[in-house]
Structure 1
């Protein structure tokens, strides 16, 4: 490849990226699903548009799986363990047993109504059997769902990709003809267990290293954090395990660790996830052939109808009934099982394997994803309000930390949002630990050193210097006052990171959450 050819490829790729970024703003304002916008860009520059021919399914598959690793790592980094822990059993059940139920029902219906052979029917059903992390993260996080509801759906989408990839790989391999259920089950178990272990090791080692290192530039922390999550992906792949699961688990661990420059890390990870989504969807759009898609519209609608109206609701009911999930939450979870990049990427595996029905499988899955993202996503806001599963926007504090290695201390940057309990609280009422102090306040573009009688205002940026050993206690105290005001201890607020609120019925995972009551009026005077 000559330098001019390389520059031309780079120019075209960056131009597509910029067009996609500009399209994000237009799509959000118009209410269009972003997945559809990016796929359309790929189709527009493909063989039916600008004439760029691209048929390398193997390259698409490999780059697609890496992009999914980046997306899952970012999803793990932004997942709070305190919220996901109560629904972990439900999420894992949906991601394993639920996937098998969904695939079985969809495959049977596809075989009966479309006359597909069993192998093709199972491959189609497996490709659409898992919810998509990119679609779930991007759509549900704009709905302000109750934390546990959102956590259950996000964790399911993070955990259910590996079982589907493993299942499709097994069906495409010699295991299909020389079926050995015990060996197949052992292989699946090995990939899942080792994937989790690799993710845990990468996350724990990464936390130990990053929390004890003062890197010369703040921008290195986000790079190192994402590199550790993707290291887990590659390490699990070398061990023959699930790299997608390892990346997600490592991301969850690192995202819940007390690491320096956490907010910058989240911003960097979000940017990488956007680039991965754009590149992935555009590449998948390039691989598709529009001339073939119209011919599989009816089969795609039949498979999609079987999935959306029969398989998904039955799966949610069978998996969630043991966890006493109310019917309203079950109904929303059934409709919110979004499909996106993962099914299309999985459908490239048969193309790479070269089976006779590979193009039919890819086309059916591609059309199904496009049609049903248009049907499902726009209805979710209305459905969330109608079923009463939406929650108020969070007013949690954003606390950014930077280490002072030689002083064995940290600097915390605290942004005070509108509606926070910190508003009106005097510095001496914060009751911070002994080795912590508010050293500086930025207000309205002006900086000043506060004294004990300074009252905190909305929009303030607080700089808190704290000894490293007292950082956790200081963050918890700030969060507690931010939630419940100066009488946080009186209300029993301990400031744990996004704690799970008790429900009216202890046996229910979901349901209306009890909120701390505001402080009485007489408590607004200085303590």
Structure 2
């Protein structure tokens, strides 16, 4: 696929300029004397955004909207700092999306999404195609758009937002299959939507080879993701790096390399990123918990930076022109295109109507449609500025409507089961030159490891529980020692016994000392 235009140097102006005039322009140089001021302002914005997370949790308001509001207040409504380069927004937006997909993939448990693999793939491919077609047809009729423009609107609006889904649904207590389908959809569907936007924006010829091209790019992206994820995990397990903090950096670098490789080889870089992150996140990585914490922080930083940037780009005065088409597009998407796409894509799976109804309502939109809308704008597509204005309005409206009602709708449909006990996290550190690893385990509240005697734990040969830290005091356990909630366990295991030791710990965590009798394998 053609590469997106990276644009010319950054433009930061204090005078609003129409989108179309500044879409591909940009000059200016940041003086060294201004650097402390710019860094201080950036730090202040970041601190305010971090504090806004707690406020949004109390109010039930999606935090992404608060970040957007901060950007708007720094822009034309406040300090007058505006960014007018669509190419810059597009490039930074894709970079942020790569980090968000990396965090989402690393924190996706394969055991949780595997039962919903078929549904997730159907929602992220077939449903995207159906949504583009339905939205395009209806908007062609309602707004009088030509077919190419109407379908471009449909392609921009098709993908759900990974950041919104990952942050909202994982705490909603949904059934495993339902949550897994939504996670896979949000992680994968950016790729086919991105390809569709490129094809429509550049006016590539649509013939019988186009579906084959899309399939080729998606398959290549998936293969690259698996290959680089496996190779990265293999290398990290065998690399005794001199500092713990280097492992998270190397892990994220592998995912970014997957994106670059996919784009350079004309495959789907976004899909390669997510798949590589899933493979890495479900591998036996050293210092896994540190890596996940680092990736989570990067994900938050990407979300905050992206929405603040979008707020600086937005012009409240021009957004008024996008209210009517934005509301019309939101209604078409929420009430017609999304339900139809869910219904048709899930026909082979015979999902209960309650789950299909929730999937129809849970198609959260966020930064992704806005970033995709920058592609035709940066390439000078006719009336692309109207599309950007309408998408801004649509994202705000749907985030408010769906973000506030998602959990109540799940409860009304009888799908919100409440938060399940957190599964134990098993972290590992390589013991250099010993062909062994040190496993660190914390027993979470509600775990069935609580009350288990050490003699009942029955770790495999080659693994031994060597130390327990309880109430900030450490001691060597005996066979009569009983484990308790909050305990931190240090287990030394050979590389050969590591996988079996982790499976046994997870099995007892879920089912207690009689895990094998209850059919729990710990997978």
Normalised by the length of structure 1, the TM-score is 0.91
Please name the residue that 1:356 is paired with. 382
Alignment: residue pair count: 493
Return the offset for 1:53. 2.2
By how many angstroms is 1:214 displaced?
1.4
Does residue 1:411 correspond to 2:438, yes or no? yes
Deviation at 1:366, TM superposition (A): 0.8
Match of 1:90 in 2: 119
- Per-residue deviation, 1:314: 1.0
Residues 45-101 of structure 1, C-alpha deviations (whole Å, 9 max, x = no match):
112321112101001001101110110111111112222222222211111111111
1:329 corresponds to which of 355, 361, 366? 355
CA RMSD of superposed structures (Å):
1.3
* Matches for 1:470-509 after TM superposition, within 5 Å: 470-496=497-523
Q: CA–CA distance in 2 between the matches of 1:394 and 1:490?
A: 22
* Contact persistence 1:123–1:361 (CA under 8 A): no
Cross-structure match for 1:396: 423
Q: Secondary structure at the match of 2:275?
A: helix
Query: Hey, what does 2:487 align to over in structure 1?
Result: 460
In structure 1, distance between residues paired with 2:402 and 2:31? 46
State the partner residue of 2:229: 203
Give the corresponding residue for 2:200: 171
Alignment partners' CA distance in 1, 2:79 and 2:319: 18
Conserved in 1, the CA contact under 8 Å of 2:438 and 2:493?
A: yes
User: Are residues 1:298 and 2:327 paired?
Assistant: no
Where in structure 2 are the equivalents of 1:421-432 lying within 5 Å? 421-432=448-459
Aligned counterpart in structure 2 of residue 368 of structure 1, from 374, 379, 394: 394
The alignment status of 1:437 with 2:464, answered yes or no, reads yes
Select the residue among 157, 161, 179 that pairs with 1:132.
161
2:421–2:447 contact (8 Å) kept in structure 1: no
Residue 189 in 1 paired to residue 215 in 2? yes
1:250 corresponding residue in structure 2:
276
Q: Which residue of 1 aligns with 2:293?
A: 267
Structure 1 runs not aligned, ≥5 long: 497-527
- 2:67 counterpart of 1:38: yes
Q: CA deviation at 1:408?
A: 1.2
Moved more, 330-339 or 13-22: 13-22
How far did residue 269 of structure 1 move?
0.4
Q: Distance in 1 between matches of 2:90 and 2:435?
A: 47
Tell me what 1:289 maps to: 315
Deviation track 1:276-327 (CA, whole Å, cap 9, x = no partner) reads 1111111111111100112221211111111101111111111112101100
CA distance in 1, matches of 2:270, 2:354: 31
- 3-state SS of 1:96 partner: helix
Name the counterpart of 2:474. Answer: 447
1:147 aligns with 2:162: no
Q: Which whole-Å CA distance do the structure 1 matches of 2:201 and 2:445 have between them?
A: 55
Aligned to 2:105: 76
Give the secondary-structure state (helix, strand or coil) at the position aligned to 1:84: helix
Cα deviation, residue 218, structure 1: 1.1
1:473 CA displacement: 0.6
Name the CA distance, whole Å, in 2 between partners of 1:44 and 1:473: 54
Q: Deviations over 1:491-516 (max 9, x none)?
A: 121111xxxxxxxxxxxxxxxxxxxx
- Helix, strand or coil at the partner of 1:181: coil
Q: Secondary structure at the match of 1:395?
A: coil
In structure 1, distance between residues paired with 2:420 and 2:178:
14
Shift of 1:421: 1.1
* Aligned-residue offset at 1:227: 0.7
> Aligned partners of 2:50, 2:379: CA distance in 1, in Å?
34
Contact persistence 1:170–1:184 (CA under 8 A): no
Provide Cα deviations, 1:104-142, integer angstroms capped at 9, x if missing partner. 111111111122222221121111111111111111112
SS in structure 1 opposite 2:497? helix
Bigger mean CA offset, 330-339 vs 146-155: 146-155
Aligned to 2:250: 224
Counterpart selection for 1:379 from 395, 405, 408: 405
How far apart in 1 are the matches of 2:35 and 2:269?
A: 30
1:174-203 Cα deviation digits (max 9, x unpaired): 41xxx3322322332232122112211210
Say which is worse superposed, 269-278 or 14-23, in terms of deviation.
14-23
| 1:367, distance to aligned residue in structure 2 (A) | 0.2
Among 38, 52, 58, which residue is 1:29 paired with?
Answer: 58
Q: In 1, distance between residues paired with 2:493 and 2:206?
A: 59
Moved over 4 A (4+): none
SS in 2 for 1:180: coil
**TM score, norm. by length of structure 2:** 0.92
Q: Give the whole-Å Cα distance in 1 for the aligned partners of 2:51 and 2:309.
A: 18
The corresponding residue for 1:508 is none
Q: Which sections of structure 2, spanning at least 5 residues, go unmatched?
A: 1-29
Note if contact 1:415-1:459 (Cα within 8 Å) is conserved in structure 2: yes
